[in-house]
Amino acid sequence: MVKIGVLALQGAVSEHMRSIEACGAEAVVVKSTNDLSGVDGLILPGGESTAMRRLIDSYDMLSPLQAFATAGKPMFGTCAGLILLSKNLVGYDFAHLGVLNATVERNSFGRQVDSFETPIEIKDVATDFPAVFIRAPHIVEVGVDVEILAKYENRIVMARQGHILGCSFHPELTDDHRITAYFIEMVKETLAKEANV
């Protein structure tokens, strides 16, 4: 069975675990470098990116997480997770993991009270995915190696760069598991390639 880790330092961890299990994969809590070595793919959940980065540093996980991505292991960041993955942040002169060739702007869709849900079309996933936006970022621009999968009001809200996937919204807060299933397929494809090398 495919093992999908969820970075469990802060944020919507249990919701992602539930979605992974609903898709028939094994969900694994990742709180250390040791936990990371036992998973086939990793989800960075929504939450508070600054708090997550502080905890990543406290647990000495920044370099191991970057190495995980560099090794070609699939990673999926939602909301704060997208911020952690991106190479550039608007208004900041530093990035976090810096593994997704994209520029992201934080809190693009307003404050917590401005949260909303809207159906969006996602390439290869759904024509009507119920996207939940909570203090969501958006992707301002992407590199040539990044495929745009979804937009909302002309703003990029989901993109993929090979084995790295990121979205602005919270798929784990719905009962629609199609995005999680899409990521699990990415992981299976990576495992199949590794097996054929």
Q: Is the pLDDT of residue 167 over 60?
A: yes
Q: Is the pTM of this model over 0.75?
A: yes
pLDDT tens sequence across 56-86 = 999 999 999 999 999 999 999 999 899 999 9
Structural domains of the chain ordered from first start: 3-196 (3.40.50.880)
Largest CA distance in the chain: 50
pLDDT tens sequence across 137-165 = 889 999 999 999 999 999 999 999 999 99
Of 6, 149, 135, which Cα lies nearest the Cα of 83?
Answer: 135
Q: At what angle do helices 49-58 and 62-70 cross, to 10 degrees?
A: 100
Q: Please, which residues have CB within 8 angstroms of residue 148's CB and are 6 or more apart in sequence?
A: 123, 139, 142, 156, 158, 159
pLDDT tens sequence across 38-60 = 999 999 998 888 888 899 999 99
pLDDT tens sequence across 6-36 = 999 888 899 999 999 999 999 999 999 999 9
For residue 49, what pLDDT is reported?
84
Q: Which are the catalytic amino acids?
A: 79, 170, 172
